[in-house]
Amino acid sequence: MLWSSIQIRRAGDEVEAQPGFFEGDTVAHCGPTLKGEFARTLNLTDVHTGWVFTASARNNAHVRILEGLKTGVEQVPFAVTGLDFERAVLNRLWALVNDRFNYLTPTKKPIGYGTDRNGRRTRLYDAPATPLQRLLAAKVLNPAQEAELVAYRDRLNPAAIGRQIADLQGVLLN
C-alpha cells in the first residue's frame, strides 16, 4: 500500500516545487573491484529542501535496497511523494552530451606524422569536423538516413542543451 502511494518519476518529468520528491543513489564500497560481496550505501536526497537519508546495506540485493528504502520513508519527517534514482538522471545527461558532441562539437582527428622546421616529428591533424560531418563524408548512410540526421541536428539548440546539461549536473551534485 505504501509503495503504490509513492510516484516514480520518469525521464523528462519536471522536478517538484515542494518537499517530498527524492533523488536516490547507491554507492558501492568495493575498492577497485566489483568481485565478491561488499556493502552498499543508499542515499536519498529531497530535491526541494536538500534533506538527506543515508543507510548502508549488506549488499546490492533487491530485498536489502527495498529494506533501506522502507526505513528511509519511515524516518524522513515528511511525506515521501516520489523517487528518482540517479541512473535515470545520468541517462538524460548522457543523451544531451552525446547530441552536443556528435552533432555540434567539431574536433581535430590525427591523420599522421610530419616534421617541423627543426626536423622533429610532429602529429598532423585534419580540419575540425563534427562526428556527424565525418559520418556523412564516409558515405555509409542511405539518403533517408542522412536527411534524418541532418534534420535532427538542425533542430538542436546548443544553448538549450548547455542549460539542460548544467541543470542535470546540478541535480547530480545535490
pLDDT digits (tens, 9 = 90+) for 42-59: 988 887 787 889 999 888
Give yes or no for residue 39 having a pLDDT over 60.
yes
Instruction: At 137, give phi and psi (nearest 5°).
Output: -65, -25
Q: Which of 167, 154, 170 is nearest to 99 (CA)?
A: 154
Q: Is the sign of the CA dihedral 97, 103, 105, 107 positive or negative?
A: positive
The pLDDT-based confidence of 14 (bands split at 50, 70, 90) is: low
Residues β-bridged to residue 113: 123
Reduce the DSSP state of residue 138 to 3 states and report it. helix
Q: Name beta bridge partners: 15.
A: none
- What are 108-125's pLDDT values in tens digits? 988 899 999 999 999 999
Per residue in 57-83, pLDDT (tens digit) is: 888 788 888 999 999 999 998 889 888
